Amino acid sequence: MNQESKKFLEELLSTPSPSGAEEKIQKKWLDYLKDYADETMTDFSGNAIAVINPDAEFKVMITGHCDEIAFMVNYIDDNGFLSVVKSGGINPKLALGSRVRVLTEDGIINGVVGVNAEHHGGSKEKIKVEDIYIDCGFKDKEDAEKKINIGDYIIYDFDYNYLENDSLTARGLDNRTGAFIVAEVIKQLSEMDCNVGVYAVSTVNEETNMGGAYFAGSGITPNMAIACDVSFATDYPNLNKKKLGDVKLGKGPIISKGSPINKKINSLLEKAADTNNINIQYEVTPGRTGTDADKIRLTGKGVPVALVSLPLRYMHSPSEIVNLEDIKEEVRLLSEMISKLEGNENLKPV
């Protein structure tokens, strides 16, 4: 990964993007692509879109959602402690004792998720979101209300670090890595011959309602779409691979198989992987994928979709882990596959 790309990835990971408040990260995404795309635009949901060959009849859409899980302030008690609700699948048990940032209109307020000391009996075995509270050091409710509003988002106080063997840890790798990957595909394709229109979309709201994916599919009306998300690596202790499959960090991107997935798009991806010596892995999604692909395929008259995922450890924790080589290979896989499209592909299964 060159320095420009690495700096862009780090910038995305350092930018708060809770589901429903993605404006700052979208502006940075669009600014990065202004010199590579033929057109950039937004839509009413807050999606950011970059296009190559906008006049082409055959349109390929690639999406990666930029939003991250978070908490939201729901109540301030008389002593100035903040109660919260979940925005996306954030785990309250993992939050205990964590440092957090409250994202207010006037800037960041630092806080801590309160935790009962072991000396006082420790935490409950089962933690619900209504059991936790945020301590920002306020004197009382009046003091807190000077700076905090109901609806303010709260994220973990952690951006990124590099680990051994090209590993990267951060909060919200799910799925700001996807937004990064589709941007890098546009950057690569800007230097390659391309016969089709390519619409890269940094989508919003995937973690809460997938509304961004629906807006993207409905507005762009692509002939085919590929969702780029993360999926579960199963290469760490105490996991049942017979149940969860065998997926490793550093062994390449994951191609999904199952009823939502168009087999002909998968064949095109597999051909590109084979031709360019790119390692790929597989996962099964028999009924639904749990990603933007599910919404996109049901827009308009229906859109053939595929799902290409980045292996990830510790999903929805404050410290997820991915491998930089997997990111590089996913960008290469998508770029090579899309650059070989003629624009007359018949994607009907029968």
For residues 325 and 214, give the distance between their C-alpha atoms in angstroms, rounded to a whole number.
Answer: 31
To the nearest 10 degrees (0 to 180), the angle between helices 324-339 and 173-189 is 40
DSSP-based three-state secondary structure for 201: strand
Decide the pairing of beta strands 224-232 and 281-284.
Answer: unpaired
For residues 297 and 38, give the distance between their C-alpha atoms in angstroms, rounded to a whole number.
Answer: 26
Q: Of the residues 22, 68, 184, 206, which is catalytic?
A: 206
Is residue 14 within 8 Å of residue 159, measured between CB atoms?
A: yes
Tokens encoding 333:
């896989």
**Dihedral of alpha carbons 263, 268, 274, 280, sign:** negative
Burial class of 187 by CB neighbour count within 10 A (0 to 12, 13 to 18, 19+): buried
Residue 206 is among the residues annotated as catalytic for this protein: yes
Radius of gyration of the chain (CA): 21
Which residues form the catalytic set?
206
